[in-house]
């Protein structure tokens, strides 16, 4: 159980560190905005995927904390 909690926590920390940096790179990409400055599907799709990854990171962190508390 301890190993699983640690693995979930490492997963959460990794995702919380990596995905915001990736979003900043995607947002600066020329494909992210059209000529009028409006967000393109490229940016929208990546934003949704990143939000889902961060939500999973949050769930992993909560599960890890619950697992550690129950030890």
Range of the domain at 6: 2-32+41-69
Instruction: Using the predicted structure, report yes or no on whether residue 71 has a pLDDT greater than 90.
Output: no
How far is Cα 29 from Cα 55, in angstroms, rounded to an integer?
24
- Say if residue 53's pLDDT is above 90: yes
pTM: 0.88
Cα separation of 54 and 51, whole Å? 5
Number of structural domains in the chain: 1
pLDDT band at 69 (very low <50, low <70, confident <90, very high): very high
**pLDDT (tens digit, 9 = 90+) per residue, 8-51?**
999 999 999 999 999 999 999 999 999 999 999 999 999 999 99
């Amino acid at each position: 159980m301890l190993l699983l909690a640690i693995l979930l926590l490492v997963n959460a920390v990794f995702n919380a560190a990596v995905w915001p940096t990736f979003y900043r790179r995607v947002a600066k990409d020329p494909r992210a905005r059209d000529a009028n400055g409006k967000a393109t599907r490229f940016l929208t799709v990546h934003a949704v995927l990143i939000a889902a990854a961060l939500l999973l990171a949050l769930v992993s962190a909560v599960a890890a904390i619950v697992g550690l508390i129950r030890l």
